[in-house]
């Protein structure tokens, strides 16, 4: 009668399932617990290592001409850069400029 509730449960399980089965299940649960703990430690370690890495240097901005003269009445909505050109999206047009001197190369209408 001095048995703890855990000992009573173990005895009941051993009586119904057999002694070896209960021991196997206990070892299986312990192994799964250890695997979960190791996995969590590895995951936290990877996250910490990833965030502690130094960030690479910021890429240099592309070389731009001193100024780009837009046609009269045109306002730029967006700008993008190519290897030797600059594209300006304005109203219903895409304006392509030479990167070296800022001269207008081509005007492409957009529907």
Please, which residues bridge with residue 86 across strands?
Answer: 81, 97
Q: Which two tokens stand for residue 18?
A: 């057999």
Greater pLDDT, 2 or 106? 106
* Per-residue pLDDT tens over the stretch 40-65: 999 999 999 888 877 666 667 777 77
Burial class (CB in 10 A: 0-12, 13-18, 19+), 96: middle
* Per-residue pLDDT tens over the stretch 8-26: 777 777 777 666 777 888 8
Q: Which two tokens stand for residue 30?
A: 């312990």
Measured between its terminal Cα atoms, the distance across the chain in Å is 90
* Per-residue pLDDT tens over the stretch 94-108: 999 988 888 899 999
Query: What is the 8-class DSSP label of residue 94?
Result: E
């Amino acid at each position: 009668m001095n048995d703890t509730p855990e000992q009573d449960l173990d005895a009941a399980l051993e009586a119904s399932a057999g002694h070896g089965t209960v021991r196997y299940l206990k070892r299986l649960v312990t192994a799964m617990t250890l695997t979960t703990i190791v996995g969590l430690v590895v995951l936290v370690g990877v996250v910490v290592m990833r965030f502690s890495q130094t960030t690479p240097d910021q890429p240099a901005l592309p070389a731009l001409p001193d100024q780009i003269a837009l046609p009269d009445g045109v306002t730029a909505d967006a700008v993008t850069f190519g290897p030797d050109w600059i594209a300006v999206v304005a109203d219903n047009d895409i304006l392509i400029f030479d990167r070296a001197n800022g001269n207008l190369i081509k005007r492409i209408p957009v529907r």
